[in-house]
Amino acid sequence: MKKRIPLSFILGGGKGERLYPLTKHRAKPAVPFGGSYRVIDFVLSNHYHSGIRKLLILTQYQSESLHTHLRRGWYGRFGLGEDQFIRTLPAMQTHKSMSGEGWYEGTANAISSNKHYIEREKPNIVNTFGADHIYLIDISKKNDFHLEKDADLTISAIPIEKELAANNYGVLVVK
């Protein structure tokens, strides 16, 4: 099996309108959970325990408290080596901004706006995770499966009732 060389984009910029008023002054990933923890700590812990050490956290909405939490609690924790990093990338205006305002216009636009990191790092796996979900996953197993199958794309999903959630989450059909 090929050696895993992963790079992860962690999307940390959502407004979290369904969690208002908890998100009045912070992004959904920065919402407190269990005392001093934040929702983003779940995805970061999953990466840490999976041995993934190249993380780009894309932030946008009310991100100051998220940046502060990451700086105080995570930057030193990863024990990063020479070719490893955890970096926050706030949305910014560039000459390529689609709207001219610099805000990400969804997941695909956020990744596309930062694809130069993929070109620079040359990973053989690019992971994309939301920072506002609470779950436990061994990402290394998913990445091993991806390499074993020589896949172009691997999507992790869970079954939910289409009638209950299709309008909020979308539908994945497996044939």
- pLDDT tens over the chain, length 175 residues: 678 889 999 998 777 777 888 888 888 998 999 888 999 999 999 999 999 999 999 998 888 888 888 888 787 776 777 788 888 888 876 555 555 566 788 888 889 889 999 999 999 999 999 998 888 999 999 999 999 999 999 988 878 777 776 677 677 777 7
Look at residue 123 in the predicted model and tell me its pLDDT.
Answer: 94
CA-wise closest residue to 83 among 7, 140, 147 = 7
Tokens of 12: 């940390």
How many CB atoms sit inside 10 A of residue 82's CB? 5
Domain ranges of the chain: 6-169
Contacting residues for 154 by C-beta, under 8 A, at least 6 apart:
142, 145, 146
Q: What is the DSSP letter of 96?
A: T
CATH class of 6-169: alpha beta
Task: Write down the pTM of the prediction.
Answer: 0.86
Question: Burial level of 143, CB count in 10 A (0-12/13-18/19+)?
Answer: buried
Q: What was the pLDDT predicted at 151?
A: 92
Quick check: 157 and 172 in contact, CB under 8 A? yes
pLDDT at 99: 52
Run of H or E residues at 11: strand 6-12
What confidence score (pLDDT) does residue 136 get?
Answer: 92
